[in-house]
A = this chain, B = another copy of it.
Amino acid sequence: MAFLKVVPLEEALKVINSFSLKPKIEEIKLEEALGRVLAEDIESPMDVPPFDRSTVDGYAVKSKDTWGAGETNPVKLKVVGEINAGDMPKIELKDGESAYISTGAPLPKGADAVIPFEEVDRENEWVVIYKPVYPDYGVMKAGADVPKGKLLLKKGTKLSFKETALLSAVGFEKVKVFAKPKVAVISTGNEIILPGKDLKYGQIYDINGRAISDAIRELGGEAYFLGIARDDRESLKEKILEGLKYDMIILSGGASGGIRDLTASIIEELGEIKVHGIAIQPGKPTIIGLIEGKPIFGLPGYPTSCLTNFTLLVAPLIKKLLGQSQEYRKVKKKLAHKVFSVKGRRQFLPVRIEDDKAVPILKGSGAVTSFIDADGFIEVPENVEILDEGEEVEVILFGV
């Protein structure tokens, strides 16, 4: 069995950060970019709109031609043409001339304003104007919306429908995003079986495999659930070797301690153990290793413990590979009731969020429902025994 390298959380995070894994970049079609993470700053390659554009249906004019207009002394301008949206205007207005123009159409040369048709009268080939307009009336100038060169989106942005629409607006057909980190997920334990199979006495259905796989997907990674390794060397080693096809491997322990020793021993055989135990509760049995440059994590078996350690250790690495900040996502809440901890133990307690309150969940880490009810967890530092009701706490949200 491996030497127990119990380290503080911060030390474990340093080890993880020192891994040489780098974000990978790929270029994909914009229509597949929803939910992906930008790998480059985006500056607008063009003016939006790209030309002086009419914002109304009406008449393009030289504004100075209207400056003498009034209700009793209207100005009449000759209508010399018509420009529709999508047209390339071929006409050029001379003094005293106008052109019918539709919303979205480019202004003809010589024009600097558009008067909505509701504000004028039309008399055969003449438009009758009753009030003066200023330059750019009814016009959106080229680049007024988005000027060429403007920084639109930053590297690391997760693309929602608003960002994909913006990229479309400035002409991107393809976009560079971070490749999804590929993560192998393995559950371990003789008592664990996959849902859909018949449950024999003494067996329980897998929960961590599904939880971790889907949490990885929510983070933006690609999860490959390799199923369940039995509590024997051959079975576990086979799964780990299969996992080396991916960028990293996450094991979650069965309930027993035997698996932990086995995992440690196989990592030592194939690679190197970097951390064996973290000085937090839960997290004491967590193993971090490196095999052929691929990080391998052995997380605790209890669902809440497993997910807490996933959130503390693995999620930041996945976010790093996606070019994002590795900060935990935290919210400040008030503790709903007093909690006790053990002095000398740095503890993370699951909590549920209710409005502005963090409600501690005290079902014990074995309970599936404590995992389901919890939104995240709070830290009780080593030197603290009691957190009082109403105290402000920072909740680290699960998964993200």
A contact set with B: CB distance below 8 Å: 30-31, 34, 46, 48-51, 53, 55, 57, 84-89, 102-106, 140, 144-146, 160-174, 189-192, 194-196, 199-211, 213-215, 217-218, 225, 231, 254-258, 301, 303, 363-364, 366-369, 371-372, 398-399
Tell me if A217 and B161 are in contact (CB < 8 A).
yes
Tell me if B214 and A34 are in contact (CB < 8 A).
yes
In chain B, what residue has the closest Cβ to A198? B171
**Known contacts A145-B368, A146-B368, A146-B369; A85 and B169 CB within 8 A of each other:** no
By DSSP majority rule, is chain A's interface helix, strand, loop, or mixed?
loop
Q: Which of B170, B199, B225, B255 contacts A103 (CB 8 A)?
A: B255
Closest Cβ of chain B: how far from A47's Cβ, in Å? 10
Q: Which of B53, B102, B215, B368 contacts A169 (CB 8 A)?
A: B368
List the B side residues contacting A145 at CB < 8 Å: 363, 366-369
**Known contacts A161-B211, A211-B165; A255 and B104 CB within 8 A of each other:** yes
In chain B, what residue has the closest Cβ to A194? B173
In chain B, what residue has the closest Cβ to A31? B225
Closest Cβ of chain B: how far from A43's Cβ, in Å? 14
Given contacts A46-B199, A104-B301, A145-B368, 14 further A-B pairs with CB under 8 A are A31-B213, A34-B218, A51-B201, A53-B366, A85-B255, A106-B201, A161-B211, A161-B213, A164-B211, A165-B207, A165-B371, A166-B207, A166-B368, A171-B199
Tell me if B211 and A258 are in contact (CB < 8 A).
no
List the B side residues contacting A301 at CB < 8 Å: 103-104
Closest Cβ of chain B: how far from A254's Cβ, in Å? 6
Q: Which 4 A-B pairs have the closest CB atoms?
A: A173-B196, A104-B255, A86-B190, A161-B214
**Known contacts A104-B256, A195-B172; A88 and B202 CB within 8 A of each other:** yes
Closest Cβ of chain B: how far from A114's Cβ, in Å? 12
Bound Cα distance A146, B207 (Å) = 13
List the B side residues contacting A146 at CB < 8 Å: 368-369
In chain B, what residue has the closest Cβ to A187? B168
Closest Cβ of chain B: how far from A82's Cβ, in Å? 12
In chain B, what residue has the closest Cβ to A49? B204
In chain B, what residue has the closest Cβ to A363? B145
List the B side residues contacting A199 at CB < 8 Å: 46, 50, 171
A-B contact pairs, 17 of them (CB 8 A): A34-B214, A48-B204, A50-B201, A84-B231, A85-B202, A86-B192, A103-B301, A104-B191, A106-B201, A145-B369, A161-B215, A165-B207, A165-B371, A167-B195, A168-B195, A168-B206, A170-B205
